[in-house]
Amino acid sequence: MLAAVMFTDMVGYTAMMQEDEQRAKSLLDRHRKVLEDLTLNHQGKIIQYFGDGTLTIFGSAVEAVLCAINIQIELQKDPKVNLRIGIHSGDIVYDDDGIFGDCVNVASRIEASAIGGSVLISRKVSEELVNHKEIVTVSLGFHQFKNVKTPIEVFAIKNNNLRVPETSTIDTLVGLSKESIAVLPFVNMSSDADNEYFSEGITEEILNALAKVEKLHVTSRTSSFAFKGKNVDIREIGKQLSVKTVLEGSVRKVGSRVRVTAQLIETKSGYHRWSETYDRDIEDIFSVQDEIARTISKNLIANLAVSDQKKTLVKSSTRNMEAYNLFLKSSHFWKKWTPLDIRKSLEFLEQAIKLDENYAEAYSALSGCYVYLGAFGQMPSTIAYPKAKEYAHMALQLDNSLPDSHMSLAMVNFFDWNWDDAYKSFMKTLELNPNNADAHRYFAYYMLAIGNNKKAIAESERALEIDPLSIPINASLAETYAHCGMFEQSKEQFLKTLELDHTFRAALNGLGWTYYFLGEYDLAIERLNQSQDLLGDPLKSNAALGYIYAKLGMKSDFEKCLIKLEERAKSEKDVSFLFDYAIINMGLKNYDKVFEYLDLAYSEKIGGLIFIRGRYWKEIHDDPRFKKLIHKMNLPCD
């Protein structure tokens, strides 16, 4: 069942028992009496008493928080009980022996990080409070808890004179793992600024190598790279990423020689635990990366087995350094995530494979490029998907241990609507790398497609827990909320995304749609126009505006959007606009035309059809033609 789990615990009870046993028992009885009365008032159920603590569940996260606030208010009265409370929500397994699940463990860890007189909650619970402005919360940052795989963002209830602990206090209470590290982007010290891709590539190789060390928590690439080019104090980086150490360095490449410097720094004190400079031939770059990764692992993990210390973490992916150079260039353009840059990435990868036909990573990345182009209508799916599948299989034949190759295959099958095969590949990807934030993000899309909204939200939230500063992952969570009709949560999440980058168009577009469904039409149009202005091309991004103008009866504005769409379709013949026309006609309630375009989109396997079950398309869900379309796509019907 889905529940909010609340743990309470009396601070200093054991010492109190030694000093004044009668007083301690009296306060314990008061604690339990107040809890029983207020839990009943808020439709909760006490599951277990243990010593001076309790475990309670609620059907509503809001009721759990209100109950916790009222408990603390009551226990501040004489005789005062110094109590700490922690709350988390999620799936639990519930039987006669008690309740079980990750949700219970997280709630327990949050409670253990609280101080007397405070109520701490997880981000998930905090998001349930968006419509309750009377409850004030404050973020205490992300924290790594024992036996919890990924950092959890903790919030404190601030109102009603409740105490709010310092972030440093939480770190002390939970014992922030010494085995935690963020790898900051190495600085390009080469005279040629275009060598930026090379220093980034080395950084990522080291980061990925460290992520293979079982006992080491490594912050994901996106969150680490969020500090690129910014003069942020190491202590602040440690606080934001919840890590105790940071690896930073520089790369200078001159001809066939390369100099790599690296230093390991403690975030609390700024103390340099280790530093080294490597002057090598470019052909030795893999051994340098491996040596840095193994040295860091040994430095951070005192009880690392000797066999682990000698394990190769960075293996030579190719013996052809020019091919490797081309691969790094392709990676640089891939991360820009635009159709033009993806095509540049593809060109570099094709050149790399010509130089080394056994380059598994290059085939894997090439598969990803074709998936992107097919899914976004930048290339006919009949061309893109077979190529993507071919290259993914070639990569796996060369190296079956590459998580990215399995994910590429998952995405090919996903967009090709081979749901069972896609599921198997997603599972293999997450088995090989359970902390792959993008894998969780795309698996959430899979769950949206098959109609498992609850699992989709959980996977999206997991992706954000792993990579909290990733702008696309923040936006994806907001999109997932919107898809599920949770528009208030979607709005808040889109706004958080835009705080990270106010020019991120996907968030502006998503926020525009969300405002529309919340009935805030002026704001919807304003955000969509803002997104269009960032493009600098009035012919682009007109479908959403056209839909809203049609719905609001703004005929003149609608007609302008339609004309622009038609002009663009004539000039960009290689790009599919079937989905755009379907959206605009839905705004006109011209449902015959909507299904005409959707059927054509089905024939071309346009990627957007995967999200057809979402709230945006709800007005056509009762049409028999919609159910027929879902059936043709082999998706489960409601």
Is residue 473's pLDDT more than 70?
yes
Between 128 and 174, whose confidence is greater? 128
pLDDT band of residue 98 (cuts 50, 70, 90) is low
pLDDT digits (tens, 9 = 90+) for 557-584: 989 989 988 898 888 877 778 888 999 9
Instruction: Output 274-281 pairs: Cβ under 8 A, ≥24 positions apart.
Output: 274/299, 281/256, 281/257
In angstroms, how far is the first alpha carbon of the chain from the final one? Answer: 20
Peptide bond between residue 79 and the one before it cis (omega within 30 degrees of 0): yes
Q: Which residue has the tokens 């082999």?
A: 634
The sign of the dihedral angle between the CA atoms of 352, 353, 358, 361 is positive
Average pLDDT of the chain, as a whole number: 85
CA-wise closest residue to 484 among 150, 138, 155, 127 = 127
Q: Look up the pTM and report it.
A: 0.65
- For residue 417, which amino acid is it? W
pLDDT of residue 96: 62
317-434 CATH choice from 2.60.40.10, 1.25.40.10, 1.10.357.10, 2.40.70.10:
1.25.40.10
Reported confidence tier of residue 175, pLDDT bands at 50, 70, 90: very low
| Percent of the chain whose predicted confidence (pLDDT) is above 70 | 93
User: What pLDDT, on a 0 to 100 scale, did the predictor assign at position 97?
Assistant: 58
The set of residues, in sequence order, having a beta carbon less than 8 Å from that of 197 and lying 6+ positions away, is 328, 329, 331, 332
**Per-residue pLDDT at 305:** 41
The residues spanned by each domain of the chain are 2-174, 180-316, 317-434
Q: Binning pLDDT at 50, 70 and 90, where does residue 315 land?
A: low
Q: Give the chain's largest Cα–Cα span.
A: 86
Inform me whether the pLDDT recorded for 550 exceeds 70: yes
pLDDT digits (tens, 9 = 90+) for 337-389: 678 889 999 999 999 999 999 999 899 999 989 988 887 778 888 888 899 99
Q: DSSP letters along 240-282, please?
A: HHT-SEEEEEEEEEETTEEEEEEEEEETTT--EEEEEEEEEEG
Q: Which segment of 48-62, 174-188, 478-492 scores lowest on mean pLDDT?
A: 174-188
Class of CATH domain 180-316: alpha beta
Instruction: Please state the rounded mean pLDDT for residues 256-283.
Output: 83
**CA distance linking residue 300 with residue 293, whole number of Å:** 11
**Structure-model confidence comparison of residues 117 and 312, the more confident one:** 117
In this prediction, residue 308 carries a pLDDT of 46
For 13-22, 388-397, 601-610, which range has the lowest pLDDT when averaged over its residues?
13-22
Identify any residues that bridge with 95 across adjacent strands, giving them in sequence order.
98
Domain 2-174 has CATH 3.10.20.30: no
> Measured between alpha carbons, how far is 82 from 548 in angstroms, rounded to an integer?
54
